[in-house]
Amino acid sequence: MRVLLRGNYAEGNFGDDALLLAACKLLARHAKEARVDGAFAYRDERLSGLAGQDRHDGRYDVIVYGGGTQFFEFAHDPPAKAPSLASRIIRKIVRPTELLGSARARRRSWREARKPRLAIGFGVGPFVGNGGAEAAATALLHTMPLVWVRDESSLDFCRRQGIEGVVPSADLCFTSTFATVVRAPRKPDRGTRRRRVGIVLRDWNGLDDAYFESAIEASRRLRSFNVETAFFSFSPRDRRLRAALRRAGEPVAAWGCERGSLERFWGELAAMDLVVTARFHGAVFALLSETPFLALAIEPKLEQVQRWSDGGSAPECILPPLTDAEFMTRRILAALEEAAQRTALARNMLSRQRRLASFGERRLAAYFQGDLSR
């Protein structure tokens, strides 16, 4: 089969770039060829030969949504006002190339409606607006024979909507395929060095400056307790975050998809003794490093990472999304004191996520072998 791969790969986001590599290597086991729908930002020798597919080229057999949260809607993202029919007609008379584009779009829509689609390592939601995105996503997911979801929030959504092809699994970065193509960095020897805390924030319009300022103030307080801190930015779109850090004189380890390797950036994160993260892949790569984490629960999938363990008594790893600096500092210091217990929890979580990812890999293989009953 020839695969058309869809994802948020043009944005230069660390998590999505890791997913691009994971999805391509996973699909290479089953497909004759995989191409990305549109452009992609990340460059890596392991992606040599991968090309972007022209949007109107129908030379593919199946469309695969390759990981990440691709169907969502936020209340602070109001739907764009649709132009009137008259204005659309006038524009096409004045700009005839738009008429050609519309014809191509209709042909593409007709062609895609006849191609099978599936989702792997997928996240869905949240849907908190009124733009119809939830209904559209539900309708599309109902057409898919395989919807491999990566988190409990997405699984709950699919079950509520009666999606028959849903497969409870894990993120693509937990797959055995990803582990074979990416070199996990070695954790530095703890020795007598100061403890290190990595802080991974994300920049959303719905979060005010207090969200950045409380983390920056917590970082300052931690240094007074002889704890080193480092900020991480996973995306070039974190403009407000990076500006706030510059104003505060805080250095930041920023992912750049055109420079350095995934392993180098991951190695900086793996050198931490604790990761505080408002990004899903901050938690993923902390676990892959067997590093404890605290999740700033700014969205449902981060609220539910506590459920990644096999159960039993385990230290809480969730922080409120807009917590104050004093509370954040206390929780971080307490987590550092529980290092042994939290490291054991991280290993437990990683083991469970790898088992779930293996189930997803098997179901994907069954799809390409024509036997989803397995």
What is the second-level CATH architecture of the domain 196-337?
Answer: 3-Layer(aba) Sandwich (3.40)
Per-residue pLDDT, averaged over 259-265, amounts to: 86
pLDDT given for residue 92 in this prediction: 46
Check: CB of residue 293 under 8 Å from CB of residue 275.
yes
d(CA 150, CA 166): 10
Q: Give the three-class secondary structure for 51.
A: coil
Question: What pLDDT is stored for residue 88 in this prediction?
Answer: 52
The pair of structure tokens assigned to 213 is 């300022």
Query: What is residue 349's predicted lDDT score, i.e. its pLDDT?
Result: 95
Q: What is the largest CA-CA distance in the chain?
A: 73
Evaluated on CA atoms 282, 151, 183, 314, the torsion sign reads positive
**The pLDDT value given to residue 342:** 95
Confidence (pLDDT) at 71: 87
Residue 121 has pLDDT above 90, yes or no: yes
CATH fold of the domain at 2-181+354-368: Rossmann fold (3.40.50)
At residue 68, the 3 state secondary structure works out as strand
- Same topology, domains 2-181+354-368 and 196-337? Answer is yes
Give CA–CA dist 320/14, Å, rounded: 24
Mean pLDDT of 175-196: 88
Q: Which residues contact 103 (CB under 8 A, 6 or more apart)?
A: none
Q: What is the DSSP letter of 195?
A: P
pLDDT value of residue 75: 59
What tokens appear for 134 in the block?
Answer: 């939830």
Residue 296 has pLDDT above 50, yes or no: yes
pLDDT over threshold 70, residue 279: yes
Residue 177 has pLDDT above 70, yes or no: yes
Strand order in the sheet with 274-277: 252-254, 228-233, 196-200, 274-277, 293-296, 318-319
Q: How much of the chain exceeds pLDDT 70, in percent?
A: 85
Mapping DSSP to helix (H, G, I), strand (E, B) and coil, where does residue 189 land? coil
Domains of the chain, by residue range, sit at 2-181+354-368, 196-337
pLDDT bracket for residue 142 (50, 70, 90): very high
Q: Which helix (H) or strand (E) holds 2?
A: strand 2-6
pLDDT for the residue numbered 294: 97
On whether the CB atoms of residues 331 and 293 are closer than 8 A, the answer is: no
The DSSP call for residue 94 is H
Rounded Cα–Cα distance for residues 370 and 374 (Å)? 10
Residue 330 above 80 pLDDT?
A: yes
Min mean pLDDT across 22-31, 91-100, 335-344 is at 91-100
Give 197: exposed, middle or buried? Use CB within 10 Å, 0-12, 13-18, 19+.
Answer: buried
Lowest mean pLDDT among 29-38, 175-184, 228-237: 29-38
Please give the share of the chain, as a percent, with pLDDT higher than 90: 65
Q: What is the mean pLDDT of the chain?
A: 88
Instruction: Encode pLDDT of 52-106 as tens digits.
Output: 876 556 788 999 999 998 888 865 544 455 565 555 555 545 555 544 455 555 5
CB burial class (10 A; 0-12, 13-18, 19+) of residue 370? exposed
